[in-house]
Amino acid sequence: MNIEELRNYCVKKNHVEECFPFDDETLVFKVMNKIFCLVNLTPPHSANLKCDPLKAIEMREKYEEITPGYHMNKKHWNTIELGGSLRKSLLKELIDDSYNLVLASVPKKFKEKI
């Protein structure tokens, strides 16, 4: 999956905004103002995605393109190399997991607006 495909997939989700809060090389996707995906726009391209801690370990052991989250809490975040051989379906699953984990942490009063 290339960056444009990843971007299109992320922005189609409900209540997602994209921004550059850190620099002009890190594209950030938020749901209800909480980050669920960060994309490095300079080579080597990668994405940071939130992940269940046990699944994060499993994914890192199974796929060499998945490593502990760069500049993130390594227990809860993975970095995925976008130029690797991961199937698009797996990357979409990881994006969905990240989105859902972050959305689950949004206070109930904000979820009611969704």
Q: Any idea which architecture 3-105 has in CATH?
A: Alpha-Beta Complex (3.90)
pLDDT for the residue numbered 33: 92
Nearest partner of 65 among 44, 37, 86, judged by Cα: 86
* pTM (2 d.p.): 0.93
Task: Give per-residue pLDDT as tens, 19-58.
Answer: 999 999 999 999 999 999 999 999 999 999 999 999 999 9
